[in-house]
Each structure stands twice: as C-alpha cells, then as structure tokens.
Structure 1
C-alpha cells in the first residue's frame, strides 16, 4: 500500500467516524425538533433557505476546491483567496439581503420569510470567510482535525442552539439560529487550526487565475442547487408550505445516512485524487474500485431505508409526519443516484475537467425543468415532481458513465459489474424486509417490526462482508483495508487467490 493510499484510508476512517458520531447526534436531534416544531415550520425554513442557497455557491466561488486542487500554493495565494472570499461573500450576502422580499413574493410565503432569508444571508459571508481555512485543512490531509471540527461545530453550533431555542419558544427561528451557530463555529474552528494570514491581497491577475477553476466549480454547485431545490420550490409554490415541510423531512430521512458516507468520502478524495491527477492508470483503478464500493453500500442502505420508511417515520418523527413515509423510497433512490454521481464528479474535478461536469449538469437541468413543467401541467403533485427528479438523475448517471468509460476504457467492465451486483443485492434486501413486515404486521408494534428489519439487514450485511468474495465491492474494501480484519478473517484464505490474480 503506497503512502498516499495509506493516508487516504486513514482519512476515510476518521471522516467516517466523525460522520457516524454526527449521525448518532443528528437522529435524536431531528426527532426532538420534529416534535417541537410543525411541518409548516420546516416547510418555511426549507423555502427560506432556497434564496441563500441560490447565491451560496457564488459566495464561496469554489475557493475551497481551488485551494485543494492547485498543484502549488504559496502564502501569497492564500491571501488572494481570502481577499476573494471577503469580496464575493460580502457582495453575495448583500445581494440576497436586497432580493429577499422578491424571493418571498416568488414563493408566495408569509412576510416572516423575508426576515429569515436576510438572517440566513449572513451565514453565506461567514462560510465564505472560512473557505480558505477549510481548503488548507483538506489540502494538508489533516483528516482527524477536519473530523473533529465538523463534529463539534454541528453538535454545539446546530443541535444545542436549535433545540435550546425551540424549547424557549423561538419556533421556526430556532432553525435559523442553529444554522448560523453551526456555520460560525465551523469557520472559527477551521481558522484556529491553520491560522492563515488575514491580510487580504487584492491582486486582480492572481484572482482571475484562481477563479478560472473556482468559477467553474461554482457554476457546477449552482446547477446542483437548481436540480436539488427546483422541486422544493415548485412544491412550496403550487402545493403548499406544509407539503414542502413533509417533503423536506422525507428527503432528510431518505438521504441522511447516505449523505454522511458521501460527505466523509468527499473530504478525503478530492485532495488525494488531486495529487495523482495526471496518473491515468491510478485514476482508472480508483474509478472502478470506488464505484463498486459506493454502489454496493449506498444501494443496500437505500433498500433498508425504503423498505422501513413507515416505521422510521413513525418512530423518529411522530404521527404528524405520516405523509412523509410514502415519499421516502423514491427520494432515497434519487439521493443514491445523486451521491454516486458525485464521486464521478469529484474525479473529473480533481483532473481539472470541470467543464465536462458543467455540460452534464446542464443536460440534467433541462430534463428536470421539462419534467417539472409536465408534472405541473398534468397535475401530478408531489409524486409527479419526484418522478421528474428520478428521470433527470438517471440521465445524469448515464452521462457520467459514458464520459468516464471513454476516459478509462479499462474500467468499463468492473464498473458495470459493480452496478449489477449492487442492484441485485438491494433487491434481495428489499424483498427480505418486506416479507418480514408481512409476517409481523398486525401482531407486533412498529418498533418491534423496525428492530426485526434492522437485525435482518445487519445479518445480510455481515454475510456479504464475510462470505461475499464474489462481490467486487467487498473485494475492493478488503484490499484497501476499509473493513476490520475481524469481519473478514473467516474468508481470508479463500481471498488470497483473488488478490494474487
């Protein structure tokens, strides 16, 4: 195992541990907030966040990614990046402040929505100022520091602040305060870990050089925002705020554990891949191996969440959120496809081929807009809008597949095999869990049914890990040291022939 691979594996372990710890905190936090607030509150927050998210990617200007991806970086470059962060962040926040009333009118929201949008605009400036420090931490591969910073900023900045505010009667504003606290604490902790110069350097030529890459990253982020939030905007405007709240919580429940995996990996992969951006053979191996592992894990998790959505919503969110349960399976599949595509996008970004991502995202956006228009015209409601989302994600996935297979022809077969095995395993899990529910329904409470489903899923996962030598994703995870030795030693002898071949 090379030094870079070793560092990357350790980074994956640290970021995965931080994500697991955050999940252990966020699940009860989300459950508590779902009982302290109403669907209308969450729907209002979801709509309020649409406008700042519209400008968020331009506020950061892809600066963190630019810091990571640059082949060489000097102190002077860092000062230029900080100057860009200060300028673009301040301008973007001011722009959101002024357009807030128009955003409220577009979404047909109450007057309170304007104040919420303006408060959230402040978080854009705070996050932009933290972009250089975040990029420096990732570039230096200080994954343990990144993990601790992310975890403590979320627990203290968001969970403690939002729950305390809700208990004190702040209502929907408790979500705003939590978001601001989370962003502020993460920025402060990241800066304290690197302590870069706070003297901005306004070198126009150097700024232009940085923005050639960072600007493309921003455009990609903006397109991703449109594709993620266009259905939410349509639901809030044409179906109602309460429906937007149900959709928002269903999306969180469907994608939460999946996003934890993706976020943990993305913090590690961009800096690692950027260091080998010109080594085509190693990048091809990464593409094949990462696709096999991520599809196997993410599709399997989707099957567990989708087949258990009724019990998960009842237990975690409560009875008032019952309408979210039927939305979880399809939103989970959309999330899986989106997250798998993000790994492909990270590979292109590390290679500096951001323009290819822009083209793929533009095609997906056109499909999504057309599908949304058709769904609204036909009166398809929330389900019609989610179908449009799914179709657009499938098309994006196919485009990434074609693009990367042309760049790395040797990876075509293992990637196709990885997809096929992931779909087959998720189907087996889904059938098993639904059969279990059919056997227990009516005779056991929901909590017992959920526990039985999770136990059955755990047994299937353990069997795959210990005896699944035929699964490409499992083989890769063993070879890369991503699995504890205790889980694989039963099949270690049989796998030696696989590795030697």
Structure 2
C-alpha cells in the first residue's frame, strides 16, 4: 500500500473516531445530567432502605445475567465478517436466555428474599425480572453499527430511552414516593429501547440456531463468560455482602456513594469502549497505530479522570449534604475512597478495549481472575470491621491490583512500542499517589497541624498535579493525535 493510501486511511479512521466520539460524548453528557438529576431527586424522596432494596434487586438480576453471559455483542464486533445467520442465532440465544433467567428469578424470589433478610425484596424481584426478558429481545444488529463506528443510531436510542425512563421514574416517585418508581421506569425505558433497536438497525428477527454461528459465539464467549463472572463478583458482590451483613439501610448508603464515581468512572468508560473496541479491531495489522491509540487513551484517562476524582474527593463534605441532604452525610468517607476506584476503572477500561479489539479475551480473563481473588479475600473481613468504608476499600484495593496486572499484560502484548505510555503512566501514578496520601490523611493532619495548613497543602499539591497534566501531558497527547505515521504496516 502506498504512503498516500496509508495516510488517507489514517485520516478516514480519525474522522470516523471524531464523528463517533462527538455522538458518544453528547449522549454521555445528556445521560449523566439526567442521571444526576434523577439521583438527587430520588435521594431526597426515598430513604436509604429504599435504595438498599432496589440495589439488592439489581444485584440479583446482574448476578443472573452474569452467570448466563454469552458475550454476543462483543463476539459480533470482533468477527471480521458477520452474516445473517450470526445475527439471527445471536438473537435467538439472547431471547431464550432472557426467558430462562427470568423464570429462574421468579421461582427463587422468595428464597433470595429470606437469605437477604429483606421481605420487600420478593415482590420487587418478580416484577423486576421482566427486565431480563425485554433485554433478551433487543436487536443484535446494533453491534454492527458499533463495529462501523456509526453510533448516531445507538446514541439516539439511548437518549430517547433514558428520557422516557427518567420521566416515568420521577413522576411516579414524586406522586407516590415509592421505590416501585425505579422498577417501573426501568421497564418502560427498556421496552422503548427494544422497539427502537429494531427500527434503527433494520433487523428482522427470526428463530435460528445455525451450528457454525453457534460454534463461533460459544467459542468466543466461553472466556468472556468467566471474565464477566469475575467482574461481577468484584463490582456487585460487595453489595450482596453489605446487604446481608449490614442491612438494607447500609446498602442504600453504599449504593449512593458508589453511584457518584460510577458517573465518572465505569459508566463513562463503558461508553468509551463503544469507540475503542471497533477502533482496535480495525487496526489489528497496524502495530504502531494501535500503540498510538492506546497511548492517547491512557493519557486522556489521566488528564480527565484524575482531576475529577480529586475534586470530588476534596469537596465531598460539601457536595453530599448540599446535594442529597444531611441524612446522607455518612457516605463522605466511602465516597473519597471510591474516587480512586473511579480512576482505576478508567485505566482498566482502556486496557480491556485493547484486549478485546485485538481478540485476546484470555488476557482479560486472567487479569480479572486475579483481581477477583484479591477482592474475595478482603470484602467480608473489611466490611465486618469497617462497615461501608471497608467495602469501598475492598473494591478500590482490588482495582489497584487489577490495574497493575492489566498494565503488565498490556505492556507484554504491545512490546517496546508501549514504553512511552507506561513511562507517562508511572509518572502520573507516582504524583497521584503523593497527592492521594495527603488528601486521605487530612483528618489526622488537622489534629497535629493548624486548622488551615493541611487544606492549603492539599490545595497546593492538587494545583501542581493538575498543572503537570496540563503543561506536560496535554502537549504530549496533542502531538500524538496530530501525528501521522508513514511507516505503519498495512
């Protein structure tokens, strides 16, 4: 391939990434504004116990979904040529899985309610189980739009669905002041999304279980399934432990504390993956191109997520009572711990996109298995000893370990081309650790220093760290974005 053609391909891909990023960014901003408004309103209407029961129901459904995870969407994105048989087989598997899982939840709702010591959980679970059925009938052809980085339809669907869901949820909550508002709002939103998925993707569903398609989907999904189970244990297992050990009210407090970093962490990065995985998949023959994209994304996480996490951590004693009310002041300490988790989840998501895009789900499986073992060793003793702060510590420590593990395997995967990336990451990590130590020891410093000295020190370090990101990292990322390689392998 000529140099001109290589450059044109690079520019076309960059234009597609920019276009897709614009849609994803706009959709993400809208979703987060709506989610923040909904969280604030519900926190002032419902009690921590209401949030706890809803969190328990969501955790149970997520557990069932995880155990039955087939990785259909990721498998379709990763496959070079997707046929009609692949799509119809994926839809059939998804629909059957949803029906089976919902039936299981319906039958086991009473037992689960008894185990969790939450009597109100049983009826909530049986209605909430309809979400599994509705999700199972979504069009699998939406994955093809993601593969092409054509995200206009996907974002439009999410915006419409989210708007209707929030409107229904808040209307019922304001009028009736019941936790059922969240369940009903979710079900209505899912039904709207399901209908829109077929309208946007132009997919005509039919029952089919072609052997060749089944073979590929199961082969790809087997490793992804184990990865998803480990990720579920880390992400949601703590909620089940908190609910069982500390009760519904403590679970509600933990859920709201976790919701804030989720807005800037896991949920933000899940949207980032909609662009990243197809991008890496399209660059599988371009080693230098993959290294540049990875370097750029790692840098963006540092320059965006770390300052956000620091600001939320510093201002949480002001933000929490002002936004949610004084009854939620108990979430300040776990929220500060979870801000570090949010930053780590950003880095983990970038590396997950790299592994899936390069068809190496085995790397994710190994990393998540190690992270899961660390989490299982910590969650029960720390929760019993320190309450919801202990649960937050367990999640954050496991993510620190997982980030280090994934960075190691990503470095081996990319080879010498990733040296600059991890050098920058190590600098940011060292500086961030210094600032984090100062911020987390503020209460102790107040006892041994004058009342204003620790705050000034923390503010000064924060300003210096943000200055480093702006004057050192930002120009480096800008150079990466504008760089065109004439020596890439086509």
Q: Into which bin does the TM-score normalised by the smaller protein fall?
A: 0.7 to 0.9
Residue 403 (structure 1) aligned with residue 409 (structure 2): yes
Q: How does 1:267-306 map to 2 (within 5 A)?
A: 267-306=274-313
Distance 1:326 1:266, change over 3 A: same
TM-score by length of 1: 0.84
Closer, same or farther: CA 160–457 of 1 in aligned 2, 3 Å: farther
- Deviation at residue 432 of structure 1 after TM alignment: 10
Note the C-alpha offset of 1:53: 0.2
Distance verdict in 2 for CA 1:153–1:284, change over 3 Å: same
Deviation at 1:222, TM superposition (A): 2.3
Q: Please state how far the C-alpha of 1:241 moved relative to its aligned partner.
A: 0.9
CA contact (8 A) 1:66 1:210 kept: yes
**Given that residues 89 and 128 in structure 1 are in contact (C-alpha distance below 8 angstroms), is that contact kept between their aligned partners in structure 2?**
yes
Deviates more, 1:31-40 or 1:94-103: 94-103
Query: What is the match of residue 114 of structure 2?
Result: 105
Q: Which residue of structure 2 aligns with residue 445 of structure 1?
A: none
Checking the alignment, whether the CA contact within 8 Å between 1:59 and 1:124 is kept in structure 2 is no
| CA distance in 1: counterparts of 2:205 and 2:70, whole angstroms | 18
The residue that corresponds to 1:140 in the other structure is 148
RMSD over aligned CA atoms reads 3.0
Greater CA drift, 416-425 or 340-349: 416-425
Unaligned runs of 5+ in 1: 443-448, 482-495, 497-501
Pair 1:328-2:335 in alignment: yes
Q: Tell me, yes or no, if structure 1 residue 392 matches structure 2 residue 398.
A: yes
* Worse-superposed segment, 420-429 or 15-24: 420-429
Once the two structures are TM-superposed, the CA of residue 263 in structure 1 deviates from its matched residue by 2.9
Residue in structure 2 matched with residue 152 of structure 1 by the alignment:
160
Report the CA distance between 1:431 and its aligned residue: 7.3
Query: How big is each residue's C-alpha offset from its partner over 1:228-285, in whole Å with a ceiling of 9 and x where there is no partner?
Result: 1111111111111111101100111233133453133111111221122343332222
Alignment partner of 1:480: what SS?
helix
* Aligned counterparts of 1:154 and 1:38: Cα–Cα separation in 2: 23
Between the two proteins, the alignment pairs up a number of residues equal to 461
The match for 1:4 is: 13
Quick one: distance in 2 between partners of 1:427 and 1:48?
39
8 Å CA contact retained: 2:85, 2:210: no
Deviates more, 1:197-206 or 1:233-242: 197-206
**Cα distance change on mapping 1:280 and 1:398 into 2, 3 Å:** same
* Structure 1 residues 325 and 249, CA gap change in structure 2 (3 angstroms): same
Question: 2:183 corresponds to which residue?
Answer: 176
Partner SS state of residue 71, structure 1: coil
Q: What residue in structure 2 maps to residue 446 of structure 1?
A: none
Tell whether the 8 Å contact from 2:85 to 2:213 is kept in structure 1 after alignment.
no
Alignment pair present for 1:91 and 2:91: no
Give 1:251's aligned residue: 258
Q: Which residue of 1 aligns with 2:7?
A: none
User: 1:232-247 residue pairs with structure 2 within 5 A?
Assistant: 232-247=239-254
Gaps of 5+ in 2: 1-9, 484-490
Partners in 2 of 1:49 and 1:261 — Cα distance?
19
CA distance in 1, matches of 2:239, 2:205: 38
